Amino acid sequence: MCSLAKTLLAGMALLSTVTFASSYPEALNQLGRVATDAEVAAWDIDVRPDFKGLPVGSGSVEDGEAIWLDKCAVCHGDFGDSNEVFSPLVLGSITPEDMESGRVAALTDAAVVRTTLMKVATLSTIWDYINRAMPWNAPKSLEVDEVYALTAYLLHLGYIVEYDFVLSNENINDVQAQMPNRNGMTTDHGLWSVSGTPDVVGSGCTSDCKVDTTVTSFIPAYAMNAHGNLKDQVRDYGPFPGIQTAPESDAAEVAAPTNVIPEQALISNGCTGCHKQEGQLVGPSFNDIMARYKGQDAFEYLKGKVKNGGSGVWGSMAMPPMSQIDDSALQAIAEWLAADN
């Protein structure tokens, strides 16, 4: 048991032996201190969909344009349309009918690039996001009025407000009513499949609750590698290992560089059960193998030997055929062993 858990248990035992009213508050008094107003204010910056938390201020499209060119365009493009660092922020497939209905129809088409202005249902999200997270290299460096101005500029680029518009805490609610996807916030669909059933359904149940364990969500092909290969990011033991989301050809590219030990391939193919980097195990060490074939252009030979196994080169012990090994792993291992370094 970790010492923290022990301390907690000891504390609980202690508390249960004393009378609650007399000692409990006193024990609590010794833990931490009350956060100061300044500390709370520094954390409490969220702006909610109804604009609760929005600081008083204003900024014009014109000012926003200047700040944008100075601090944002380098990554997002002059008109917020660059996809260099992120999906484009503005434009995209928004139609006059969408503006009317408040629901961007193209979002249900998996092939369409989704921009921020297409997706976001609440203007508060854009304001809040810029305020807390942008510019990427210096988050929280913008003045309140600068955030208003930048938000106004993006709205202008999206044809939502005119060039002479000044956005403020007083009129932001009116602009919300013009957001193209303002009615797009729904919960009655699956996470990835917009025509699927919801993954999670909330209820007020607190005891003996029925849990529906049917899995209704999946990652569709187009979204598979949206955040890199999950298999490389999530632990590979336990009940929830990451699935392979990168195409196999990408995986081969990742495993390809020579001189880097293809550790995963060696472990997952069972090589390390018989070979160590240094010192004999069942088979010769990888260092000895590398030394033996140094400068001999042995790539093809080693590839064949790993795949087909064999005996007699290092002794009487045989290396079993490794016929299960996939091409990318085989390639990476043979390149590594045959590299002249």
Rounded to a whole number of angstroms, the minimum distance from the CB of residue 84 to ligand HEC is 8
- Tokens (6 digits) for 46: 């969220």
Interface map 147-186 toward ligand HEC (x if CB under 6 A) = ---x------------------------------------
What's the residue count for the chain? Answer: 341
CA dist 12 and 221 (Å) reads 51
As a whole number of Å, the CA-based R_g of the chain is: 30
Q: Is 306 in the site for ligand HEC (CB under 6 A)?
A: yes
CA separation, residue 67 to residues 77, 151, 253 (Å): 13, 11, 40
CA angle 237, 242, 243 (to 5 degrees): 125
Work out which of 172, 289, 332, 338 binds ligand HEC, going by CB under 6 A. 289
- Tokens (6 digits) for 209: 């609750």
Q: Is 303 in the site for ligand HEC (CB under 6 A)?
A: no
Q: Is 135 in the site for ligand HEC (CB under 6 A)?
A: yes
Q: Is 226 in the site for ligand HEC (CB under 6 A)?
A: no
Name the residue nearer to ligand HEC (CB basis): 90 or 99: 90
Name the residue nearer to ligand HEC (CB basis): 71 or 103: 71
CA dist 237 and 241 (Å) reads 6
Q: Is 76 in the site for ligand HEC (CB under 6 A)?
A: yes
Work out which of 94, 130, 152, 167 binds ligand HEC, going by CB under 6 A. 130
Q: Is 283 in the site for ligand HEC (CB under 6 A)?
A: yes
Q: Is 282 in the site for ligand HEC (CB under 6 A)?
A: yes
Question: Cis link prior to 135 (omega < 30° from 0)?
Answer: yes
CA separation, residue 140 to residues 45, 73, 123, 130, 132 (Å): 10, 17, 18, 8, 5
**Contacts (CB under 6 A) with ligand HEC, residues 311-330:** 311-315, 317-320, 322, 325
Binding site for ligand HEC (CB under 6 A): 71-72, 74-76, 85-86, 89, 116, 126, 129-130, 134-137, 150, 269-271, 273-275, 282-284, 289, 302, 305-306, 310-315, 317-320, 322, 325, 333, 337
